[in-house]
Amino acid sequence: MASTLLDLAESGEEVVVTRHGKSAVRLVAERPVAVADLSAATRYIRRFDTVLRTLDAIHAAIAARENMTLATADVRLAEAATILRISTELVRGE
Hey, where are the domains in the chain? Answer: 1-30, 32-94
DSSP-derived 3-state class of residue 23: strand
The reported pTM is 0.70
Residue 64 to residues 7, 51, 58, 74, Cα–Cα distance (Å): 26, 17, 10, 17
In the prediction, which pLDDT does 94 show? 61
Banded pLDDT at 37 (limits 50, 70, 90): very high
Banded pLDDT at 70 (limits 50, 70, 90): very high
Q: Does the structure show a pLDDT above 80 at 46?
A: yes
Q: Does the structure show a pLDDT above 70 at 80?
A: yes
